[in-house]
Structure 1
């Protein structure tokens, strides 16, 4: 029986993303989180979930058990709540601070590939055979 309440789409080629997922998996005793590495060659996000590979590589996405898709800092807020550490991300929901955190996450998302010495999104998409638009 699948008890996952949140399925997180992550970039398994990103060392920092992988470290975060490893931490979340280590705290996932109730099985509320599941994970899908978007770099697996047989996985087509757009066909199954309506999220393109490019979109998933640009910003983190997750699928809630009700079928809704969330992204960016909301993924971390939800994931940490589900593993019993919601207090860590609670301040990111405060007015003004939430906008600042979203801004910081946006910068990270924009430069993540460069900062982790990875190919550009265009090159990754070309290798994957996906659309850039």
Structure 2
């Protein structure tokens, strides 16, 4: 990961809902603190991260400059921090709020292919 980025987000470029949010973060990222990596691009290789595509598709992933991988709601906390929106991050860590966000994201991630009309056989079997 280039050192001039605070965070790298790995996103599903074929997911319409995901792309809407990614485009929003791209507009907010005036300082170019975020490296955006589409996991559906031909050049992407999950093996370079020590992961496989089903794992990458199961939930959102991100990478810190030191190579540490983060997943789920923590990715969104890092994105908001990178664009200078610290108040949603603080709110997301409040007792009760944290658990609700984690649960909501797990439900969404498990059903996102179905919710975005992208089911075709085994593709909805995201764990």
Scaled by the length of structure 1, the TM-score of the pair is: 0.85
Cα displacement string for residues 102-124 of structure 1 (whole angstroms, at most 9, x for unaligned residues): 00111000100000000358348
| Cα distance change of structure 1 residues 63 and 39 upon mapping to structure 2, 3 Å threshold | same
- Give the match's secondary structure for 1:34: strand
Contact 2:8 2:62 in 1 (8 A): yes
Scaled by the length of structure 2, the TM-score of the pair is: 0.89
C-alpha distance in structure 2 between counterparts of 1:93 and 1:53, whole Å: 29
Contact 2:3 2:65 in 1 (8 A): no
C-alpha distance in structure 2 between counterparts of 1:80 and 1:121, whole Å: 35
C-alpha distance in structure 2 between counterparts of 1:119 and 1:4, whole Å: 34
C-alpha distance in structure 2 between counterparts of 1:35 and 1:68, whole Å: 16
Residue 66 (structure 1) shift = 1.2
Aligned to 1:107: 107
Aligned residues: 126
Gaps of 5+ in 1: 126-131
Gaps of 5+ in 2: none
C-alpha distance in structure 1 between counterparts of 2:81 and 2:66, whole Å: 17
Contact 1:8 1:63 in 2 (8 A): yes
Which stretch shifts more, 82-91 or 32-41?
Answer: 82-91
Contact 1:9 1:37 in 2 (8 A): yes
